[in-house]
Amino acid sequence: MTIRHFQEFTPSLAKGVYVDKTALVIGDVEIGKDSSIWPMTVIRGDVQSIRIGDCTSVQDGSVLHVTHRGPHNPDGYALNIGNNVTVGHKVTLHGCQIDDCCLLGMGSIVMDGAHIQELVILGAGSLVPPGKVLESGYLWVGSPVKKIRPLTDQEKEFLPYAADGYVKLKEQYLNLGSSVDRL
């Protein structure tokens, strides 16, 4: 089954969400309207919460997880992703904050307590270390990540366009009868 309870938590999916049958969503997870979760993605909200906004896509093979509350980190780290975010293939997001209208390149890793502000492009294969803040309006690339240059107007306009493209694509999948397994 694609959608699983964990303890007292059951994932909550808003209207128009697409979760591929090969993806797995567990526990304290909320996914906003018109978002999409693509094949082989794992979203595991077992020891903290995961919140995904509207019109956000999490692409194939991505892993989303959190950090538990404990003596070394009393609050733990939840994972929060804003609206109109495009999460590329095989991205790992762990206990971090991603604001609206971002594009996270394929194979990127974003670690505990990191914060990616709105209107950011994170280049493929980048590593965002724990606690790092990526300032809005820039291209960030590397391992560890470095600010490269301001985004062009064309790149800023592309961010919502990319998100909308995945909203349209998930509609095609839903119309073909591809659907989530529900509890």
Q: Would you state the pLDDT for residue 182?
A: 42
Q: pLDDT at position 43, please?
A: 98
Contact indicator for 100, 159 with CB cutoff of 8 Å: no
pLDDT of residue 183: 38
Q: What is the pLDDT averaged over residues 167-183?
A: 77
Confidence category of residue 22, pLDDT binned at 50, 70, 90? very high
pLDDT at 181 exceeding the cut of 50: no
Question: In the chain, where are the structural domains located?
Answer: 3-175
pLDDT tens by residue, 63-73:
999 999 888 88
Quick one: pLDDT at residue 97?
98
Question: Average pLDDT for residues 161-183, to the nearest whole number?
Answer: 82
Local confidence band at 1 (pLDDT 50, 70, 90 cut-offs)? low
Residues 37-59, mean pLDDT to the nearest whole number: 97
CA 24 to chain centre: 14
Q: E strands along the chain, which residues? A: 3-4, 12-13, 18-19, 24-31, 36-37, 42-52, 57-58, 63-65, 79-81, 86-87, 92-94, 97-98, 103-104, 109-110, 115-116, 121-122, 127-128, 133-134, 138-142, 145-150
Classify domain 3-175 at the CATH superfamily level. Answer: Hexapeptide repeat proteins (2.160.10.10)
Tokens of 144: 């560890």
Q: How far is CA 6 from the centre of its chain?
A: 20
Q: Can you give the pLDDT at residue 4? A: 93
Residue 178 has a pLDDT of 57
Work out the pLDDT band at 176, boundaries 50, 70, 90.
confident
pTM for the whole thing?
A: 0.94
pLDDT tens digits for 118-159?
Answer: 999 999 999 999 999 999 999 999 999 999 999 999 999 999
